[in-house]
Every structure is written in structure tokens, then in C-alpha cells.
Structure 1
């Protein structure tokens, strides 16, 4: 377990057991891990660390509750639509051509959380005519999440993606929520599964000989030893030619199991090679060593899925034609320093505006770079989109944060946008995630205080404002705190102090006879 500034030696002992049982990597933020463990202990009614360690060791539900605190289970219907479009356009037609019209497709949502991904898979196959010939398996390590998935009641936040309308036909409004139709629910089988344990694949669970596996944004939580084991078991769970989708931030798997990396116009997926085809796989992955990508292997002849499109990524529309030779050449702006975030050009902004007019948030985000592999570029792009369309910016910030789950800046931006829309519970979630990643982010504590105050949690708001105040007071007065938009530490601290004092006075006046 990574050495950190633990306030009590009991915290790393708890995390060591979690790593042993669930394969989670050591936390990057000890302070936030302590908060999560403390909340789980409070719910369990336990204050002694040794007692709690024995409690989670013997009670699976208690361990599940703690895992929920230590991971971020964020999902929505048809998240990362490129994956679903590739499934619809390439994989399903090839599967039907290879196996025949009566073939029963088998899909798996690994780490399904509250079920939106698995239900999206079922809805897509129903729309493509597979309603009587499919089975969707969905597993998670959290029994709480599985209970929510089986209940299948969702809010607007689960419908925030660009493909949301494809799901509305299967949702019935009920108050402020939507209830999923039995027509979709009947195709999905939910069950508990700890991916870190060597208990799968197996025919009894249904996790074997699968055509498609979605294991997205799950591997980022595992240590390297667990990643290697999961990669080999994912390979074993696929039938020959079966396809595996991982998340954009998940580690590459090409060197860990005999999976063929396949390059598409939107990224990389993996395919189980036909029997007898080999891919060099290292015998040992040293603990603590980074998982490094390996070169893409050449395609193997006659795989049982259709060829990958070789179309290049969508490019921004061309700029104006070159000036006539008789005119002086146009002066170019100075180039940004190497490594600096790329800022959208006027052409890209124009293309994004056109995409927004069509209602295509994903296209606008792509044009401006919100899905860039550089998180700083993505943050710049989200800010640019916010000047054009707030709802599109909320979508872009969520997608960018999914690609860069360890970057607090993107979660903070998302919180600001949600707060501006009055979506307080969602704003609280986003800003708490930012603070989980970077607990010294003073501006995030200030925003959390404002959110909690509007939610009626006065004591929580005072605590957050006081934390922002303390962090700013610890900095040089003229320094610029991260993400403070040029605001000096002294001014930011004064703002937090003023808000705290006003809130305390309001409380005193409210208690006066």
C-alpha cells in the first residue's frame, strides 16, 4: 500500500485488505480515501479499525459498501456512442452473416454499475432485430448498484448523452423519474461478480463464449497484477473472433493476453484471435511496473467480424482558399509553446456552431478538442463550448472527465456548469469527485460550500467554506490558486470568509427568539 500522510494507521490496513480482495490500486489521494472509509465505517456503526477490518472481511455487503465509496460508478445510456455505433454498423451485421439468422448473440457488461450500459446494449440489439436472439449479461462488485440496476428507475442525468433519444421509447415517465419497460429488462441478466477473483469465465454464470464484452472504465481502478489476470480472463471469456471494448482511459491490453488490437477511426478495440494464431505475451508483469502499450499487430486473415473501417478521423472543414500570389502572405499567429494546450481555431469554432445547431453535441466536442488525449486541451475546449451551449458543455465535460478520470480540473468544470443550471445534486457529485482527486483545491471547496448551502446542508456548507478559507490563508497572499481564474489567494480566501460569516449570522438570527 502506497505510503501516504495517513491520520491513523488503521486506514492503510483497511485499504490493504481491499487491495487483496478486490485488486484495487492504492489511492492517489489518501485524504479522500480516509473520508470514504470513515463514511462506510459510520454506516456500519463501527469506530474501531480492527473491528471494521474483521467486519468487511466477513460481511460481503459491508465490503461492497466500502468499494462503492472508493470507486466512481458514473454511467448513462449509450455512453461513448462510438462504441455502440461500431457494434451496430460493423459487428452485428458480420455476426449475422457469419453465424446465420438464428444465431443467439451473447454480450456482457462487466462493471455494469446501475445498469444503463447493459440496457443500452439490449435496446440496440432490439432495434437491430435481435430481440429473440440475444442474451445480455451484466455484473458488478457492488450489490447496491445491482439492486438499482434491477429496479431500473432513472433520472434525467442518465439521459444526458447524444444518443439519449434512442432510449426514451423504452422509458415511462413516473414523477421525476423514468421506469424502464419490461420489454428491455427481460433481456438482461444481472449478477454479482468480483473481476479480481479467479472465478470466471464459467458456463454456470453465462460468462463464457461471448461475442461482445464491454469492460469500460473499470481497469483504471486495478493494480497491475490484477489487470494482467483480468486481461487473460477477458480473453478466455470471448469466443474466437469475439470483441472487447475498453474505456479510453483504461490501460492497453495488447501485451497482457493474446488479443489483437484493432485500430478504428475512434480508437482501439480488441479481438480474440482464431484458434492456432499466436500473439507474443510476456510471461510476467512486474508489480509496480507501468503497463506500456505495444505496437498494433497485423490483422489475422478471415476473422469472424467485418473489416475495420480505414476512414480517417473526421477533420475540421477546410479554411478559406489561399490568397492570390500577388498579395502579401497572411501573417500567422505565433505558435504555442510545445506541450501547451491547443486552442480552437475560428474554423473549428464555426464548425462546432454548425454541429450545435444540428443538436450534435458529440460532433461539437470533437471539433473543439474536448475529447483530446491532452487533458489541458480538453479543458480549454470545454470552456469554449460553454460560451456556445451550456448543455453541450456539460456533455463535453462529462465525456472529457471519462477520458481523463484522474484530472480534477475537468470534474470542477463540470460542477460549475451544473451549478449554473441549478442541478445541485449533480453539481455536488462532480465537485466532490474533483476534491477526491485533489483535496487541496480551494476553489472546489468554495463551490461545494455554495452547493451545500443551496441544498440546505448548512453545517456541511460551513465546513467546506472554512476549508477553502484555511487553504487560501496557507498560500502567499498574491499567489494564484489553481483554477481560480486569476483570483489571488487573499481575495479568494476573503470571499470564502465573508460567505461563511454571513451564513453563521443567518443561523444565529434563525435561532433567535
Structure 2
């Protein structure tokens, strides 16, 4: 466990025990974690931290109660409706295409808390005509949460989202509580499962061969090694062609498991592709105003005929010379780096020779760096072609934040505000600390007259820049300094606040 400013060693020992068993990362707010431990100790009737630590090892209920204090079990029906829309419009149609008509869809809600998520999944599948051709599994590390989920009795707070209206036909009122109909309850199987342990996937755990996995806002609590291990097991739990949905705040799984990222308007979904399935990688864009330079014609010289002579008698073999070692060859020169290969394109950019820069960068376009330089060059001569290049480059490199940022900038310049907003939000999802992404999102939202949203975006950009040394360059800002961009964001925010106050009056 990393050192932390715990006010008493007993707190550190208690959290170390939780971290070992559940893989939780160190909390960002230690005082809040200590208050949570104190509340759990009071409910357990323990005042001594050492005795409470011993209680945690033998009392599953006490351990569950402490986990509820150290994590947030925030959930409600059809939370983040975009995820369910993705299932309806993308994942389920593809699974219908690739699975047999008799296939029973296997769905898993990992970290189901009080059950609203798996019940929402069951209702969605019922709406889509799966009826009895589905298995919905739901797991959690908290036995108390599982007991609550199996009771299927909820307050109005669980119905606070717009999408939750879809649940009302399956609810009846009993003693000011909403009780779920048995036709939905019986379609969900609840199990205890600690995601941090390597007891899954397995037939014994019931977790294997899943078509859809929801694991949302769970990975944010884990240490990095635990995240890597869980990501690999999630991949192994998916059937070929299956989909994994994580939360918008969850860590990026790229490089942790061989999952294919599917970048959407709300974030990244993941898919386990069948072996040998092609990954989306369109060819580099072709721009009619930048024709490739034709190669010079080359005609090989005629070969001179060899004289026909009788073969000589083989000579008497000379005495064999002593074996000798071949001379040591010098090492092969190292392959040029991406930066070195792109140097001619960069020099053309500095000269303002945008067309030549685009051609030179395209010649090296096997990575996102070259694609970004191509887009930057094209934006100076043909923004429409730059937008096309963005579309193709982001399909090839869906997790490259710079390409998404350039796409947002190009689309903003073309006045395609809805598409620009989507691209800017994707950048913020991929790189939440990228100040220029928030600044761009603010400009887009202001032009769409979403003044409150623009104000929040400018405030985020201002705070991110203010956290840097004033003279330090801001990433992807073409050399702009943090102090100046912080002032720009501040001025934009204040101007919006003035406009909003004027409208209110």
C-alpha cells in the first residue's frame, strides 16, 4: 500500500486489509475514507481499530458494510441511456446476425449494486423480443447489495432518469415502494463475486461465454495491477464477437486486453473480435488536388550475350586452407524514428508549403503522428479534405486524442457544430486533462447557444491551465503558454456569465 497521510496507523491497516481482499486503490480523500471507516465501526459496535480489523476477517457482513462506505453504489434504472441505446441499435443487431436464431443471449452486470442495472438489461431484452432466449447474470462483492437487489423493491429515486419510464409497466406500488414484477425478477440470476480474485471466468462461477458485459464505474476503484488483471478476465469472459461496456470515468483498457475499441459519441465500447477478423483500417485518403508524383520510366539495358566456351577441366583440388573467421560486420544502422521520417514534412510546414507537407506526411502514414501532420497541412489548403482525412484517421486510430481534437477544430471551422461537439466530447473522454479540448468544447457550445455548458467547459480549461506553470507550453496548443490560455478561458467564462446575468434580468 502506498504511504498516505492517515491520521492513525489503525486506519492504514484497515484499508490495507480491504485493498488486499478487494483490490481497491488508495482513496483520493483520506479524511472522507476515515469518516467512512468510523461510521462502519460504529454500526459494528467496535471502538478499537485493531479489534475491528479482526472482525473484518471473520464477519462478511462487516466487510460488506465497510465496502459500501469506501465505494459509491450509485445506480438507477436505465442509467446512462446512451449505453442501452448502443445495445439496441448496434450490439444486438450484430449479435442477431452472428448468432443462431435459437441462441440464448448471455448478459452479465458486473458490480450490479442494488440491481437496477441488470433489471434494466432484462427489460431491454424483453422489448427486443428475446423473451426466454436470454440469461442475465448479476454479481457484486456486497452481499447486502445482492439481498437488496433480490428483494426488487425501490424508491422513486431509482426512477429519476427519463429512460426509467420504460420500467413503469413492470412496477406496482406497495407501501410507498415500487416492487418489480416477477416476470422481470425471474430473468436475473444474482451471485456473489469478488472481481479482484481469479476465480472467474469459469463454469462454476457462472461467468463465461458472455455476449454482453456491463462493468460500469467499477474499475475506477481498483489499483492498476488489479485493473490489468480484471481487464484480461473480462476479455476471457466474452464470447467471440461479444461486447463490453464500461463507464465514462473508468480507465482506458487499451493495451491491457486484446479488445477492439469502438469509439462512440458517449465514449468507448469494447468488442472481442473472432480470431482473424479484420480490424477497421481504411486506406490512407486520396485527395484529387494532390496527385501522386509519377515514377520516371525505366528501361533496363539489354544484356550482353555470354561467349560460348567449353567448360575447363576441373583442377586438382588444392590443399584446404586453414579455416578463418569472417570479418566482423559493423552493426546495421538503426531505423529512423517517426520524428526523423516526418522531418521533411515538418520543414515543408514551416515554409508554408502545405500541399507538399501533406504529400510527405501521407507517405509515412502508418501511425497517428503522420496522420495528424497530414490533417494539419490539409486544413490550410482544403478544410473539406482535412475533415475527410480526420474521419479516416480516427477510424484507424480511435483512441488517439490528438486526431479527435483536430477533427473538432476542423469541423468547428466548417460550421458543422453538432459533429464538432461530438468530437470535442470524445477528446474530453479520452484525455480529461487536455485543456485545449475543454476550450474547444466551450467555443462549440457557445456557438450553439448552450451558455451554461460553455461556461463549464471554459472553467475546466481555466482550472487545468492555472494548475500548470504560467510559462509552460500547453499540450496540442501550438506552443501557447499556460498563463495566456488560462486568461483566455477566464475572459470567455466571465463574458458568458455577464451574458447569462443580462438574460436573467
User: Shorter-chain TM-score: what band?
Assistant: 0.5 to 0.7
* Distance across 2 between alignment mates of 1:296 and 1:153: 45
Aligned counterpart, 2:252: 252
How far the C-alpha of 1:62 sits from its partner, in A, is: 1.4
* Distance across 1 between alignment mates of 2:57 and 2:278: 40
* Distance across 1 between alignment mates of 2:166 and 2:143: 28
Alpha-carbon contact 1:260-1:297 (below 8 Å) kept: no
**1:405-456 deviation digits (Å, cap 9, x = unpaired):** xxxxxxxxxxxxxxxxxxxxxxxxxxxxxxxxxxxxxxxxxxxxxxxxxxxx
Aligned counterpart, 1:230: 230
How far the C-alpha of 1:316 sits from its partner, in A, is: 5.0
* Distance across 1 between alignment mates of 2:121 and 2:268: 19
The DSSP-based 3-state class of the residue aligned with 1:95 is: helix
* Distance across 2 between alignment mates of 1:39 and 1:65: 9
Whether 1:348 and 2:448 are equivalent positions in the alignment is yes
Aligned counterpart, 2:293: none
Which sits farther off after the overlay, 77-86 or 54-63?
54-63
Aligned counterpart, 1:376: 460
Alpha-carbon contact 2:141-2:195 (below 8 Å) kept: yes
* Distance across 1 between alignment mates of 2:124 and 2:70: 31
Which sits farther off after the overlay, 2-11 or 189-198?
2-11
* Distance across 2 between alignment mates of 1:337 and 1:230: 32
The DSSP-based 3-state class of the residue aligned with 1:342 is: helix
**1:244-280 deviation digits (Å, cap 9, x = unpaired):** 000011001111011111122332111112135799x
* Distance across 2 between alignment mates of 1:257 and 1:337: 30
Distance change in 2, residues 1:115/1:177 (3 Å): same
Alpha-carbon contact 2:210-2:237 (below 8 Å) kept: yes
Distance change in 2, residues 1:16/1:317 (3 Å): closer
Distance change in 2, residues 1:265/1:119 (3 Å): same
How far the C-alpha of 1:377 sits from its partner, in A, is: 7.5
How far the C-alpha of 1:27 sits from its partner, in A, is: 1.1
How far the C-alpha of 1:207 sits from its partner, in A, is: 0.6
Aligned counterpart, 1:414: none
- What does 1:37-76 correspond to in 2, within 5 Å? 37-76=37-76
* Distance across 1 between alignment mates of 2:139 and 2:54: 26
- In structure 2, the gaps of 5 or more residues are 280-368, 370-392, 398-410, 420-434, 464-496, 498-505
- What does 1:462-477 correspond to in 2, within 5 Å? none
Distance change in 2, residues 1:264/1:200 (3 Å): same
The DSSP-based 3-state class of the residue aligned with 1:269 is: strand
Whether 1:166 and 2:250 are equivalent positions in the alignment is no
Aligned counterpart, 1:6: 6
How far the C-alpha of 1:43 sits from its partner, in A, is: 1.3
Distance change in 2, residues 1:204/1:296 (3 Å): farther
Name the count of aligned residue pairs: 323
The structure number with the bigger radius of gyration is: 2
After TM superposition, the score normalised by the length of structure 2 is 0.58
* Distance across 1 between alignment mates of 2:114 and 2:416: 35
**1:153-207 deviation digits (Å, cap 9, x = unpaired):** 1112111112121111111122322111101111100111010001001112221
**1:273-312 deviation digits (Å, cap 9, x = unpaired):** 2135799xxxxxxxxxxxxxx998859xxxxxxxxxxxx9
Whether 1:78 and 2:78 are equivalent positions in the alignment is yes
Aligned counterpart, 2:198: 198
* Distance across 2 between alignment mates of 1:157 and 1:276: 46
Alpha-carbon contact 2:11-2:49 (below 8 Å) kept: yes
The DSSP-based 3-state class of the residue aligned with 1:124 is: helix
**1:63-100 deviation digits (Å, cap 9, x = unpaired):** 11111110001011111111101101121122122223
Alpha-carbon contact 2:199-2:205 (below 8 Å) kept: no
How far the C-alpha of 1:371 sits from its partner, in A, is: 10
Distance change in 2, residues 1:188/1:162 (3 Å): same
The DSSP-based 3-state class of the residue aligned with 1:164 is: helix
Distance change in 2, residues 1:369/1:79 (3 Å): farther
Which sits farther off after the overlay, 233-242 or 201-210?
201-210
- What does 1:343-422 correspond to in 2, within 5 Å? 348-349=448-449, 368=453, 376=460
Aligned counterpart, 1:221: 221
* Distance across 1 between alignment mates of 2:213 and 2:25: 23
**1:341-375 deviation digits (Å, cap 9, x = unpaired):** 8278565347x9xxxxxxxxxxxx9xx46997x88
* Distance across 1 between alignment mates of 2:200 and 2:24: 18
* Distance across 2 between alignment mates of 1:316 and 1:338: 15
Greater RCO between the two (CA within 8 Å, min separation 6)?
1
Alpha-carbon contact 1:371-1:378 (below 8 Å) kept: no
Alpha-carbon contact 1:11-1:49 (below 8 Å) kept: yes
Whether 1:242 and 2:242 are equivalent positions in the alignment is yes
